[in-house]
Every structure is written in C-alpha cells, then in structure tokens.
Structure 1
Amino acid sequence: MSNIVSRHIRLKNRIVGMPKESDFELIEAPLSEPAAGEVLVQNLYTSVDPYMRGGMRSAELGKPLEGRCAGQIVESNSDQFQVGDYVTGMLGWRDHYVAPAERVTAVDTTIAPLQSFLGAVGMPGRTAYFGFLEIGQPKAGETVFVSAAAGAVGSIVCQIAKIKGCRVVASAGSDQKVAWLLETAGVDAAFNYKNVDDLEAELRKHCPDGLDIYFENVGGRHLQAALAVMNMHGRIPLCGMISQYNDIEPTPGPTNLSAAIGKRIKLQGFIVTDFMERNAEFYRDMREWIGESKIQWEETIIEGLENAPKAFIALFTGEKLGKIIVKVGSE
C-alpha cells in the first residue's frame, strides 16, 4: 500500500451558540498501515446529525471529529472483510481511516444505496422505527403528531405511522417540506410552524379528537402545545429537542408539564443503541416496506469533505429537506 494522507475535520474553537464554519478546520495527517485484524476504509459518505452538537461541548479541540460514515474497504488484514466490501462505522468527518475490523459493520446494498445507511436505513431510520413502535405503541385509528417531520427521523416516523393505520399530523419549517409531507410521505395534515403564532390552536384545528402520540424532535413550544392537546394515556417518545441544542442559556421547560399527571401521559426518552440487538427486525420490515413502496425518503447530498461544517450548520437552519449527507469520495 502506498502511503495515504487522510484529510479530516477537527474542532478549532469551542462552539458558543449557533456553530460557525470558522469553528472547524480541515487538516491532513498520514495513516499507518493496517495491522493484523485491521482494515483501511475509504469513506464515501459521512453523516451530520443533530446529536453531534451535544458532543462538541466536551470534544477535545484539535482532535478529529467522529460521526457515522459509509465507505469501502480498500485494504484488509482481517478475515472478516475483503477489499471492496461496503461498511459503515463511526469514524466520519475524514476521507480515510484505519480501524479494527470490529469497529465497522458490513451493509447489504440490495436494500438501499450505500449513503442511505446513514439515513433511512441507518441510525435515523432505526431511531424512528424503535422509538415510535416501542415507546409510541401505536394502534390503528390513533392520531399521531410528528415535529421536524420532514427530517431524517421524522419523515420515517410519519410513514411508519401510516403503515400502522394511524392518522398523521406533521409540522415542518418550510412550505416545500409541507408539500413533500403531504404529497410523498402521505400524511393527513401538515403545516409550516414558522407561519403559526398559536401552535396549540393549530394542533387543535388538525386534531379535533386530540392527540394519542407525539413524536418529539423539537422541544420548546411544540412540546408545550402537544401536552395541551394530548388525550388520556397519550405517549410521547422523546427523541430530540433540536430547537434547544444551540442555546447559550437553558431553555425554560413547558409550563403545562403537570398535564402529564392528570392525563396519565407517558414521556420516555430513548437512545437508538438501546435496541441494537434487535436491528434484524428493523431491516426485515424496512426491506419489505421499501419493496412495497411504502417508505420514501429524501437526501440532500453535499459534495466535498471541506463542506462538512456547512452541512452540519444546515441541520439547525432547517434549509435542507430530508437527510443531509456529505459525499466525501468516489469509488
């Protein structure tokens, strides 16, 4: 193997508030030969995800950032993988890396394209699947509200809810996203929350019989409004609160949280790794649903590792539709 110099993105400054491109820098570093049991991977795609913002508060400055990635084995000193195998891993934000074979996972690209293993059939899809089905416990005929519904997680939640026979109401941050939710994801009602002053009134308009499940991706006034409209024994899977990730001062909690007591509402947080041993269930169902055209998804592909910071920032501005993925290299 010729010597490979890998480019990677590292954190240059401690981020305060909304991330800026100047908080990151692109550098180069040589890679060592893969030792016994290791593989050399060329990343083809790297993911940017909202959860990374929390990790950046304590990330070591000057150290390469990490995140989910999808690529191809270009050299293997492991019996587990051959050159050319497609894999996913957690050493993203770079174009090459060497790692023990145990740190990468083979993927079946007959289910979906490689980059989609960072989105609909990857961590965001599994988050939607297990969070909604296990914590939401949907029943046919129930009403479901999904915030950030055109995002990587929310869009899959909406469609699984429809598959399970639920009525789905969705919120998103642009008219383009609302149109996609109605026309492609097949939700029953959708609105642009940026055009709504009274979110509770908007929810009541679309949910005259109340809410049974609220899949929480946003926090803030979305949670406040949903609590007000929830039915008895409602369920709220707490997936994320992206509206608060860049706050400098703590955001006040909902003033009506006590509604959860009288209504016996279940609010439960979760992390997708809680369900790692059940990934086969997810892939079984997703293969079937994709084959039946019951699941659709959108991806925004941003070219070039150097543009990864820009892609990350776009998560919080809401300007992109679907899953944001950075294309790092080509086969």
Structure 2
Amino acid sequence: MRFIPLLPAALAVLLTTSCSQAQSEKSGKTKTENGTPKGGDRRKDKNAAAEVPGLRKVGSLKGVVPESSGLAPAPTAGNYFSFGDDGNRPILYEISGTGQGVRTLDVPADNIDWESLSRDGQGNYYIGDCGNNESSRRDLRILKFRPDAPAKVGTIAFSYPDQDEFPPKKKQRNFDCEASLWHNGQVWLFTKDRGRSSTSTVYSVPDQPGEYTAKKVASLAIPGEVTDAALRPDGRRLVLLGRGELFILDGSSWADILKATPRQVALTGAGQTEGAVFKDSNTLLISTEQGGLFEYTLP
C-alpha cells in the first residue's frame, strides 16, 4: 500500500450500455416523483442544484478521481472511498465529503471493470469487478480488501445461474452489474439489464472468498439502468442509483424491501450519476463520472 497525498442482496418475484455511454433519453409521458418528465433536456451539473429540490453540488472530483464509478464510507468518519472504472488503475481514492483528496491505496488486483464498492461492519471492503457490458465475461468477481492489510485480497468468483451463452443474443444481455452492496453475510448484486429496459435482477453470493454460482433472488421493477446501490444504516431503505435518477425502496426488513414498489426521483442535470452512499439517514452523497459531487436530501 502506498499513501500519496492528492492535490486538487425464495422471495416473491416483483413488478441497468456501457459506463462510458450516456443513457438514451426517452420522451415517454412517465413523470418522476417530483413531477419532472423522465428524460428531457440535460443541463450542466453546475445548474442541477437549482433545478432539483434537495440536490446541491458540494464539490468536484476532477483531477482527484478519474471517472468516479462508486462510493463507500472510508474508515475515517466523514471521508469516503471512490475509484475509477475500467481502463483506470486499481486504486481506491480516499476523499473528503467535498471531494478533496486525502490519500490513495493501491489494490493488488487488476481493474478489469470495477463498478461498485461497499463495506461490511468489520471493515472489509467489497469491490465489484463485475462490469460486463456485452455479457461475455467468465471471470466475474468481487474483491475483498482491507485497508489495514493491503497485501491480501480475497476473490469471490461467481457466475450467473441463468447464463449459458457468452455472449447471449443482444436482447438477452442482462448480466451486466454495476451495483452491489454487502448485507447480512452476502454481497447483493443488482443488474443493469441491456436486453430489458424495466427490470433489475437481484442475485446474491456469500461474502467469503471462493467460487460460487450466484443465487437469483428477485426481479425489481426499475425502469432505468442501475449504476449503484446504497442501503441505509438501519437497513430499512434501499436506494438504487440510475443515470440522472434514483429509485427508493422502503421496508421494515430486507425481504420487505425487495418486495417494495420503487419510488422514482429525477436528478435531471446532475450528469452521469455513478456512485451513491448514505451520509446520514436522510442524505446521499452522489458522484458522477464527469467529476461532480452532490448531496441529495431524500424525500
């Protein structure tokens, strides 16, 4: 590890192409929870706070984190870890809540297509190296890493139980995962389906290194492309981030959450939103691939 100062988851089934591409805008009549039409004009992120109630820009990651693709709490309270997706170095960047660089940690593993990051209650981090735009990868994995033991990385290798072609036909390429989180001894995976436009499939794998066939758990009614997931510390609210939008699922238990009807909220103008983490029970910190860093007060 080097420290470099920086400058500037048998439940009921219910009623997500590339990280570097902008989501296609749709001109349908569906409106989001705050009344803003889905899709429509994209405004520069500097104006987003004025357009979306509860959203405000708090900093910038430009020059600090290249193409931020996820967020998780750092060991130091008030700080966070982020990272760059495929094509970037295998580094976790520790930042402040306003995007200032604190330090970097080299992770001794390749960044094939890192897309998500979460932490358990014992200080282990789970890096989702499971970006799979064409549904062709046979080397999907979660990297288990501890900042205080940087020489060791555990590998949770997995495959999907319902995939038998690599790649499948275009309309069946539903095995890209850019969102994951740790909960109750499992790493939960939320797909960004390319062949379907209104679902995200939920799978789970154990949080211990090994080789697994993921368990298919549920299919969520998410009319968007899921780019990150965050679970409130009390375990009663799940937020799935999309591109310029988010989806809120509430419940008194994890099982109830995965049965909940998602509430959709537009973040029009924020940019290509890729990372989300709870700062507190009512506030999200959100990062974009373009380097924006926002706070959003949940309704």
Q: TM over 0.5: same fold? A: no
Bigger radius of gyration, 1 or 2?
1
- State the TM-score, normalizing by the size of structure 1: 0.27
Which structure shows the higher helix fraction? Answer: 1
- State the TM-score, normalizing by the size of structure 2: 0.29
Which structure shows the higher strand fraction? Answer: 2
